[in-house]
Structure 1
Amino acid sequence: MDGQAYTLLLGNVMHATVEAIGSFDLVLPTGLIIVLDNCHFAPTITRGVVSISHLVDNGYIHTFTNYDMHDLYLNVSSIYNVSNKRAKHALDSTHLWHCRLGHIKKKRMEKLQRDGILQPTHDESLEKCKSCITASREGASYFITFTDDFNHYGYIYLMKHKHEVFETFKVFQNEVENQLGKKIKVIRSYRGGEYLSYEFVNHMKSYGIVSQLTPPYTPQHNGVFERRNRTLLDMVLSMINLTTLPKSFWGYALEFAVHILNMVPTKKVDKTSYEICHGKAPKLSYLRV
C-alpha cells in the first residue's frame, strides 16, 4: 500500500515519511514468528520499533531479562526498541538543552551559545517543540515571587494560603540580609490586600522600607513582576507536559523554573542574574531531563 501521504512523528519531534503500509513477519531468536499488521515502512528510521502494549493486547507476554540498561530516560509512549539492549535518549543536543532549561525561548539559548556556556549548533527543532506550543496559562495555586530590580535575580516561595504573604516576606527579608548582606529599600507591588495589611505596613515602616503601589488595573506599571510570573507558569506547564508526572509536582517545577531563570540571560542585564549576584558564571552541566 502506498503511504506517501503519511508521516510519523518521532520522539525528537521530527517527521519521517512513510513509503508503505502492510504486514510484516517478525522472527524472534526463539524461532517464533509474529505477524505484525498495519506496519509502517519509513526508510529514514534506522531501527525497528514495535508496540509492546499492542502485542499484549493480542495475547503475547513480554519479559525483560536483560538488566544491562543505562542512560534510561522516561518514555511517555508505549513504544519500545526491541532490538537494542540500551535505551538511549534520541533528542538532539539543542532540543535536549532546551528541555533541560525549562523550555526557555530561542533567543536565550542563542545568547548562552554566544557566551560560550552552551555549545553552538545549527538545529531548528526548537521551532517545533510540542511542549512549548501546547503550554497555556493554567496553573499554580498560591506562590509569591520577589525579583531584584538591579540584577533580576528571582526568589519564589510556595504558600498554602494568601494570608501567609507577610510571614513569607519576612523569610525572604532574612534570606537577603543574611546571605547577601543587603538591605531591602523599596517594595513595588500591586494594591492587593495582602500587601496593605496593618502588620505588613508597620513592618516596612519599622525597617525603613518604602512601599511603591501601582495604580489600580495597571499591571504594566509592574512589568517585571507580570512578565516573570507569566514566564514561570509557561515554563512549568511546558515541563509538566513533557513528562507523565502528576500535576501535584507543579511546586517542584516552579522552584526549578526560577532556578533556571536566574542562570540564563535576560534583556535587561548583560550577564546572567546568577553571575551578577554570586560573581561567577553558572554551571549548567548538572541539569538533566
Structure 2
Amino acid sequence: MANGSTLPRRALGRQLRKLRERAGLTQSAASRVAEVSPQSYGRIEDGRQTKVTDLGLNALANAYEATDEERRLLLDLAREIREATASGSGWWRAYADAIVSGFDHYLALEEAANWVTNWQTTVVPGLLQTRDYRRALTWATNPDQSPEEVDRTLDLAARRQNFLGQSDFHFEALLTEATLRYNVGSPAVMADQVKRLLDHSDVPGIDIRIVPNAETRPIGLMSRSFVLFSFPPLHASKLQEPPVAFEEGFTGNLFVERPDEVSKYSREAERIRHVALSASASSDLMLRISKELQ
C-alpha cells in the first residue's frame, strides 16, 4: 500500500510544532517568517495538504535555531512529500463529488495505514460491505440523492475495498452480533452481507471477530463505534507516525491524535478482544446466522 503524502505531511507538521514551541514562537509569528498566512501555517502543522517550499522551511529552521540534523530532517520530509504527490497518491480525488465534507482526511489515513482496527456496534464496516448493503444505508441516510449520485458513492466504497488482501495491510473488524441481525435492506441483502463476511474471514490479513449477544459484559457499548489507524515507518526518515483514532458522529466526525487519548481507544480495543469470540467461533456464528437468513 502506498503511504501517499499523508504520513510525511503529518511528520513535518509535528516536527515544526516541536521546534516552534521550543523557540517560544506563536503560529502567527511563524507564518510571518515563512511568508504564508496564519491559516496556511496552521494547516502545515496539522499535516494537511498545503504547499511547503524549501525556502520557507529554511527560514523557519533559522528562526527556530534548528540544528543541522533538524534542518535536514525538515527538508527530507518536504522532499518525501513532493515525491509522494508526484507519484499520484490520493486516488479518492477522482470521487470528489461523492465524498462528504471531511471524509477525504479519513481516506488519506486509511490509505496510509498498515493496520486498521474497526469496532462497530451497529453497521458492518465500509471495507466489508456489499454493494446492496451499502446502497440500503445510503438511501436511508440520503433519500434525496439521485440514482447516479448513489452509484458514485457505491463506486467509492468499492474502490476502498481494494486495500483488503494486500500483503502490507491488515484489517481487524470487531463487531457486535447485532450488526449481523439488523435487517438492512432485506433478509436477502443481509444474507449476502453475512456471506461476504464469511468469505473474507479466510483472507490473509483480515480478522473478523464477533461479540455475541449472550455476552453479559457490556464492554465496547459505552465507547461507541470507532476506528484505530496504525502506520508504518516513513520510507526516507524512518520516523514512526503515532496512531490516530476516529469516531463518526451524527453532526460531525472526531479525529483523535493526542497520545493519551488515543491510548484509551487502544485499551478499549484490547478489552473488546477479550470478550469477542475467537475467529473460528465467530465464523461458526456467522454461518448459523447465514442459514437463518436463507
Same fold (TM over 0.5): no
- Which one scores higher on RCO, CA 8 angstroms, separation ≥ 6? 2
Choose between structure 1 and 2: higher helix proportion. Answer: 2
Larger relative strand fraction? 1
Using the size of structure 2 for normalisation, the TM-score is: 0.25
Bigger Rg over Cα = 1
